[in-house]
Structure 1
Amino acid sequence: MTIASPFLDLPGAVDSVDRDAGVAAHYGNPVVEQRELEAGRAIVDLSNRSVLSITGPDRLSWLNSITSQNLLGLTAGESSETLLLDASGRLEHAVRVIEDGETLWLLVEHDEADGLLAWLQSMRFMLRVELADRTADLATIGSLGTPALPIAAPNGVPLVWNDPWREVAPGGHQYAIGDHPGSGWTWSETLIPRDALPSLVSRVRKGEFAVAGLLAVEALRIAAWRPRFATEVDEKTIPHELDWLRTAVHLTKGCYRGQETVAKVHNLGHPPRRLVMLHLDGSEGALPARGSVVKVDVGGDRREVGLVTSSALHHELGPIALAVVKRSTDPDATLLVETDDLTVAAAQVVVVPPGAGAEAHVPRLPRLGAVTRPTR
C-alpha cells in the first residue's frame, strides 16, 4: 500500500508512476531541480519507501550469514548495503542497512518489503531476532548534502544511510576501469518520524529547503553508474553484471546463499551481460522507456543485444541511459535504441568491460586428446 505524501501538495508537484507512485517525479522543472540537488541544497521525498527493523543480539550475525555483504563489524551509526541472492546467485533483494547499536534498520523499495519480510521471518529458526515493518513510523528523505532534518534516533543514534558507492568497499571489487563518476556521489537517505513530514513541507514552503523530484535523482544516479534494484535488475541479474561487487558483496566473508555463483563467475568465468551507460542522440527529443530494445547493426542486419534499464535528461550530459547488453557486444559499436516508432543512436560508455571476471587467472587445460607441442 502506498502512503500518500504531503509533498505532493507543494506547487507544481507531479506524482511519479508505477512503483514510484506516491512521491513527486518533479515540481515543474527537473533540470533546475538537478542543479539544486547536486549543489546539496535540495531534499528528495522518498516517503513511499519501506523501513524494516531487526532487533535482538543475533541480528548482525544472522543477516550476515544469509546475504552478500560482511555486516559483522558494523558499529552504531555505520551503514552498508547487502544483497539477497537465490541459490543460483541471481538478485532477489537489495537492502540498505543502518546499525544503531540496538537495532538494524533495513531500507527497501516499498514493493519489496512484504516479500523480504516474509522470507526473513521464515529464516529466523531459533535465533534471537525480531522483525517489524516500521514504515508507518518512519519516512525516508534523500539528499546529496547535509540538510538540517528532524532525524529519527529512537536509540540515541541518528538514522542516516550514507551510500557507499563513492569507493570500493572492503572485500569488494570494481570492474569499471579508470576514473569512476561514482567518486563524487554523496547520496544519503535520512529517516525522519513520519509525523514530521507536514512540518517539513511547511519549511519547504517557507524557503528553508529546495525540493527535487525523482527525475532529478535518476539523472544524477545514471551519470554516477549507480545501479538501482527497481530499474537495473531483472529475473536473471547477477551482481557482476552491474558492477555491484563494488559495494554490496564481500568476496571473502564466507558462505551464504548464491555465494558459489558469485565466486565462480568472479574467479573463473565472465558475467553473461554487462552494464553500459548510453549517450543518446537527442535530436528527436525522445527518452527511451525502461525495457526499450537495444540493437547493433552488423552488416545491415540489426541484432538485439540488450535492454534499456533507466533513462533521463541530465543537466550537463543531455539524454543518457543505463542499459544491460550481452557481454559479446562490441564496446566500440554505436548502439541503436528502439523507442516507440523511433530509432535513437547511442554511444556506449563501458561500465562493466567484456573481460570482467576470471580474476583467478587459472590457465586453461588442453582438451583431452589434444596434442601439445613443447615450447622452445
Structure 2
Amino acid sequence: MSKLWKLGTGSIVEIRGKDRSKVFNNLATQDLRELAVGQSRETFITDSKGRTFGHGLAIGLPEFHLFVSVPGQAERLVPHFDRFIIMEDATITDRSSAFTLWLAADESILPRLGIDLPAAPWPDSFTTFWNGLPAHLVRAPWAGPTSRLLLSESPELPTSCDPSLHAELLLSDLDHRSDWEALRIQSFWPWYGIDLDDKNFPQELDRDTSAISFRKGCYLGQETVARLDALGQVQKKLVKLAISGDGSIDMNVPEETKLRSGDSEVGQLRSYAPLSPGAAVGLGYVKRSHFTPGTELRLGTQGHTAVVMPRE
C-alpha cells in the first residue's frame, strides 16, 4: 500500500523579486543562480563561519522561490536572509502557516490524489490545484528516492481524490513521525535540529554531491567550506547505522547514545527507529577513523551493536 501522511506545518520561506535567485544563491551551498521553474535542489544555508544555519529544498516557481524544510527554521531564516539584502530587489516572507504539508511515500500515489498532473516524467516540482486552492508538488527524498511533498493551501483531502485514501491516510506531524522515521533514516535524510544544527559544517553531513557546489562563486561561509574540501577530510561524519540488540534505546539518556570502539568513545547516535524485534536503523556521527562501512561499534550500555552501513 502506498502511504500518504498529513504532516501539518513545516518551514516555508518565500523569496520574491527580480534578484531572488541572486539573494538565495549568496546564502546557499548549492548553485542557485539559474534555479529554473520546475527545479528542486537540496541545499544548506550557511552562516559567516560556514556552518549549517539551515538545510532543506530550494524550489523554483514562476514568480518566486521557496525554501522548504522541517519546523523551526523559518523564524531564524527570514531575518538571516533579510540581513544580507542591501540593494537587491527581493522580499523574504515566512509562509509556513499558509501551507499544510503532505508526504507521499512514492509517486505511485499521485494519480489518486484528485489533482491535475502533467505528462510523465514529472519535473522536480510543479504547481497545480487541490480542493480549488494552489498546491505545489515537490520531489523530496524524505521517505525514499521517489517520495513527494505536497504543499497545499487546503488542510483537507479533496472530495475528488480516491475515496480509499481517507481510510489509508496516516496522520502524523513533523515533530512526532515515528511511523515514517525508519523510511527517513534509511533514505539518509538528516533532520535539522536532531541530526544537525548550527554547530555543524556541511561536509559533516556527507551530502556533498547532492547539496554542495564546489564550482559556484562566493557565498556566505564559502571560504570555510572550500578549505574543508581542499583538506579532503572532516574529523567526524554522519553515517547510517544498522543496530541490533534486545530492547529499545532511550534517546533521552546521553550514555545510551554513545558509540564506542574498545574503550574509546568514537561517536553518538542522533536518530533511531526500530525495524523489527532486535533490529533498528539509525543515524549518528562517528570519528574519521570509523567511517568505513562494516565497522562494528558498541552502542550504549544495554548490549546493542551498531554497524556502519553504506549510504545507499
Contact 2:295–2:308 at 8 Å: present in 1 too?
A: yes
Contact 2:16–2:90 at 8 Å: present in 1 too?
Answer: yes
Distance 1:222 1:101 in 2: 33
Give the structure 1 partner of residue 248 of structure 2.
286
Alignment match of 1:51 (pick from 12, 15, 18): 12
SS of 2:165 mapped into structure 1: coil
TM-score in terms of structure 1 length: 0.68
Whether 1:185 and 2:145 are equivalent positions in the alignment is yes
Q: Find the aligned partners of 1:72 and 1:122 in 2 and give their Cα distance.
A: 19
Instruction: Pick from 275, 284, 304 the counterpart of residue 238 of structure 2.
Output: 275
Partner of 1:311: 272
Task: Check the 8 A contact 2:239/2:291 in 1, yes or no.
Answer: no
Q: What's the RMSD between the two structures over aligned residues?
A: 3.0
> Corresponding residue for 2:260?
296
Q: C-alpha offsets along residues 43-84 of structure 1, whole Å, 9 cap, x if unaligned?
A: 122212122211111001111122111112222222112211
5+ residue gaps in structure 2? 117-126
**More moved, 288-297 vs 217-226:** 288-297
Q: Which moved more, 1:143-152 or 1:100-109?
A: 143-152
* Structure 2 residue matching 1:116: 3-state secondary structure: helix
Q: Quickly say closer, same or farther: Cα 1:350–1:314, change in 2 above 3 A.
A: same
Which of the two has greater strand per residue? 2
Q: Which amino acid aligns with 1:186?
A: T
Residue type of the partner of 1:346? Answer: A
In the superposition, relative to structure 1, how do residues 42 and 333 fare at CA in structure 2: closer, same or farther (>3 Å)? closer
Deviation, 1:315, is 6.1
Do residues 140 (structure 1) and 118 (structure 2) align?
no
Residue 252 of structure 1 aligns with which residue?
A: 215
Distance in 1 between the 2:309 and 2:38 partners? 36
Q: Which has the larger radius of gyration?
A: 1
Q: 1:261 to 1:330 in 2, by over 3 A?
A: closer
Letter in structure 1 aligned against 2:181 = E
- d(CA) in 2 for partners of 1:273, 1:330: 8
Q: CA deviation digits over 1:157-179, x for unaligned, max 9?
A: 862221379xxxxxxxxxxxxxx
The equivalent residue for 1:129 is 90
What is the alpha-carbon distance in structure 2 between the residues aligned to residue 224 and residue 105 of structure 1?
23
Shift of 1:318: 3.4
Cα 1:317–1:80 shift into 2, 3 Å:
farther
- What is the TM-score of this pair, normalised by structure 2? 0.81
CA gap of 1:55–1:297, structure 2 versus 1, over 3 A, is closer
Distance 2:244 2:159 in 1: 38
Indicate how the Cα distance of structure 1 residues 53 and 264 shifts in structure 2: closer, same or farther if over 3 A, else same.
same
> Could you say which residue in structure 1 is the equivalent of 2:136?
159
**Structure 1: 5+ residue stretches without partners:** 1-35, 166-181, 353-376
